[in-house]
Structure 1
Amino acid sequence: MEKILEVKNLNVSFHTYAGEVKAVRNVSFHLNKGETLAIVGESGCGKSVTSKAIMRLLSTPPAEIKETSSVLFEGKELLTLSEKEMRPYRGSEISMIFQDPMTSLNPTMQVGKQIAESLIIHRGMKKKEAMDEAIKMLKLVNVPNAEKRVKQYPHEFSGGMRQRAMIAIALACSPKVLIADEPTTALDVTIQAQIMDLIGDLQKKLGTAVILVTHDLGVVADVADRIQVMYAGEVIERGTINEIFYNPQHPYTVALLQSVPRLDTEHKGSLYALGGTPPDLIAPPKGCGFAARCKHCMKICRELPPTAESLTDTHEVACWLRHPYAPKVDVAEALKKVGV
């Protein structure tokens, strides 16, 4: 498949009064045309920072994208562009659905004007033409009474409707890449399912490639083609949907799967809770970032960062347990014990 986006050695730090927070460390991945890549991990692992770095939406300072980093969109390096040169890409070629639909919309502007704004800027449309297109976009994302809704303000929309409006804004210019950062946050389960179905349907209609950022593996089960798991600012495992769900190889990936409730679990009880806390990224551990929380931790895990091992052409894991000389841990058996 043809790559549309390629991220290489992305390193992002934040300079604070306490020191340099190394939020994203040596992250590399690619996105193919028309596919959905899910970036999964707990809060604070670097998912959203990675997304905003691609869009060049981080304030510098305090943020700093290191010089070794590279973000290629259709072969064009985005990180070296000036702010003026970046504008035609942001919102037009690469667009983003932000995390909180309750606060992401401008409360002082009509929803239709917020959709039309990007069409006027990026497509050169006249105001009347852009407002007509805004009505079409609201209909596309299944907002009822679009002709009336286009003149309303965000406070007149429910949470689910605001998220649909956010999707309409993001897709107004038919971007080639859509980054959905926790698109179902603060929405109830029924609305979550509707929003995910909507993104999937629109992707098929428009042929957009999607990066889906979430902490919930359950959200991506039916929509993602590939998954990459992040922890402490690093990618620790990547693979196809089947490889991650049915053959996880990193203990942290196993922990994420164990924490997802399942309807087919035979026994009842409390959900699995991973003990400990993520490492302090002002002073990242010299070995594996997950070592302090891993029950399989070995001496080498604390001393050296693990190298990425390719298990198949699509499945890769950074864990010393997967090294040819490491003690064998039956991950499948560990999953069975908790009903995964």
Structure 2
Amino acid sequence: MGKILEVKNLRVSYHTYAGEVQSVRGIDFHLNEGETLAVVGESGCGKSVTSKAIMRLIQTPPGEIKEGSEILYNGKDLVKMDEKTLRSIRGGEISMIFQDPMTSLNPTMKVGKQIAESLVIHKGMGKKEAFKEATKMLEMVNIPNADKRVNQYPHEFSGGMRQRAMIAMALSCSPKILIADEPTTALDVTIQAQIIELMQELQNKFGTSIIMITHDLGVVANIAQRIQVMYSGLIIERGKTEDIFYNPQHPYTWALLQSVPRLGTSNKAELYSLQGTPPDLLKPPVGCPFVTRCKYAMPICQEQMPEVTTITEEHSVSCWLKHPSAPKVESPFTMEVNK
């Protein structure tokens, strides 16, 4: 299974009246062909900025993809690509599903026309042929009465149907990579499950590689092969899905897992809440960015960024607790699972 996407030393900043906000601070990762990679973290950690950088949707100014950043798609650097070439890739070979379909779909255009437009641009279809294909795509994402719905406007669709229409649009050109930015956040739990199941079915059909961006680890448990945890513009832990769920190593990952409600919990039990706030990225800390919220913090955590420790070939973490001379600390989440 080869690498279809490689991101190297990605740094993205936003220039504001207050100074330079370092949203993404030098991250490296890859995406394999046909796999689902989950990017998990709370709001403001740099997940969505990373996805927009891959699509080259960072508005300049105020945003800037810093020099030295590389986004290699099949060996070609998207950062250095001219706009004309990029347009043929964006939407055609790399597509994106945005968090809120109501703001992503054009409210003045019929849904079918919006899907057909992409087919005309990227596949060179005639308008009639593209419209027929748009109807087929709506049927494929399980929208009832697709032949009628294709002539309706976004406001005539429910939230779940709008998200399905966005998926139909994103997959209409059979892209090699699909980036899903919080695709289920605005939906209720049953519709969330349907959307995730639909994405899995379509992935199996088209062989699409997926980057799933979310703040909810529960959403990616059954869809992702690998997970990387982001915090303060950095990847602090990465591994196979089973590594992250059953052998988490970073205190922030422990906190994310503890905050997911579990079956069997008493209705009077207090839900876990991570205290504190992420650091100000106008002045990023010199040490570990999680230090002010971590109850296991040591003096070195404030003074120096932790090194990357390899747990297994696929699993690594950036935390001083993994240093040989650090005190041994067991994951509170793992201990709870093992009881």
Q: TM-score, normalised by structure 2?
A: 0.98
Q: Distance in 2 between matches of 1:6 and 1:91?
A: 19
Q: Give the equivalent residue in structure 2 for 1:250.
A: 250
> Do structure 1's residue 336 and structure 2's residue 323 form an aligned pair?
no
Q: Give the equivalent residue in structure 2 for 1:106.
A: 106
What are the within-5 Å matches in structure 2 for residues 318-337 of structure 1?
318-331=318-331, 333=332, 335-337=334-336
Q: Distance in 2 between matches of 1:32 and 1:38?
A: 12
Q: Verify the 8 A CA contact 1:24 1:49 in the aligned structure 2.
A: yes
What are the within-5 Å matches in structure 2 for residues 90-169 of structure 1?
90-169=90-169
What are the within-5 Å matches in structure 2 for residues 224-239 of structure 1?
224-239=224-239
- Structure 1, unaligned stretches of length 5 or more? none
Alpha-carbon distance, 1:264 to partner: 3.1
Q: Give the equivalent residue in structure 1 for 2:67.
A: 67
Q: Distance in 2 between matches of 1:104 and 1:55?
A: 15
Describe the SS at the equivalent of 1:88: helix
> Do structure 1's residue 29 and structure 2's residue 29 form an aligned pair?
yes
Q: Give the equivalent residue in structure 2 for 1:53.
A: 53
The number of residue pairs the alignment matches comes to 339
Greater CA deviation, 169-178 or 318-327?
318-327
Q: Verify the 8 A CA contact 1:182 1:214 in the aligned structure 2.
A: yes
Q: Once superposed, which parts of structure 1, at least 4 consecutive aligned residues long, lie more than 2 Å away?
A: 264-268, 333-340
What are the within-5 Å matches in structure 2 for residues 159-238 of structure 1?
159-238=159-238
Q: Give the equivalent residue in structure 1 for 2:264.
A: 264
Q: Distance in 2 between matches of 1:68 and 1:164?
A: 37
- Structure 2, unaligned stretches of length 5 or more? none
Q: Deviations over 1:232-266 (max 9, x none)?
A: 01000000011000000000000000000000346
Alpha-carbon distance, 1:48 to partner: 0.2
Q: Give the equivalent residue in structure 1 for 2:288.
A: 288
Alpha-carbon distance, 1:4 to partner: 0.3
Q: Verify the 8 A CA contact 1:252 1:290 in the aligned structure 2.
A: yes
Q: Give the equivalent residue in structure 1 for 2:303.
A: 303
Alpha-carbon distance, 1:335 to partner: 4.0
Q: Give the equivalent residue in structure 2 for 1:273.
A: 273
Q: Deviations over 1:132-184 (max 9, x none)?
A: 00001001100111100000000100000000000001000000000000000
Tell me the amino acid that sits aligned with residue 41 of structure 2. G
Note closer, same or farther for the CA distance 1:166–1:334 as it changes in structure 2 (3 Å cut): closer
Q: Distance in 2 between matches of 1:250 and 1:185?
A: 25
Describe the SS at the equivalent of 2:302: helix
Alpha-carbon distance, 1:327 to partner: 1.2
Describe the SS at the equivalent of 1:45: coil
Give the % identical residues: 69
Q: Distance in 1 between matches of 2:155 and 2:30?
A: 38
Greater CA deviation, 260-269 or 183-192?
260-269
Q: Give the equivalent residue in structure 1 for 2:5.
A: 5
Alpha-carbon distance, 1:101 to partner: 1.6
Q: Verify the 8 A CA contact 2:246 2:334 in the aligned structure 1.
A: no
Q: Distance in 2 between matches of 1:134 and 1:221?
A: 31
Note closer, same or farther for the CA distance 1:104–1:324 as it changes in structure 2 (3 Å cut): same
> Do structure 1's residue 17 and structure 2's residue 17 form an aligned pair?
yes
Q: Deviations over 1:304-337 (max 9, x none)?
A: 0011111100000000101122111111x45435
Describe the SS at the equivalent of 1:213: strand
Q: Verify the 8 A CA contact 1:265 1:339 in the aligned structure 2.
A: no
Q: Give the equivalent residue in structure 2 for 1:76.
A: 76
Note closer, same or farther for the CA distance 1:336–1:268 as it changes in structure 2 (3 Å cut): farther
Q: Verify the 8 A CA contact 1:266 1:339 in the aligned structure 2.
A: no
Q: Distance in 1 between matches of 2:64 and 2:191?
A: 36
Q: TM-score, normalised by structure 1?
A: 0.98
Tell me the amino acid that sits aligned with residue 18 of structure 1. A
Q: Distance in 2 between matches of 1:337 and 1:295?
A: 18
Alpha-carbon distance, 1:85 to partner: 1.7
Q: Distance in 2 between matches of 1:8 and 1:152?
A: 43
Tell me the amino acid that sits aligned with residue 183 of structure 1. P
Tell me the amino acid that sits aligned with residue 336 of structure 1. M
Describe the SS at the equivalent of 1:218: helix
Tell me the amino acid that sits aligned with residue 151 of structure 2. K
Alpha-carbon distance, 1:292 to partner: 0.5
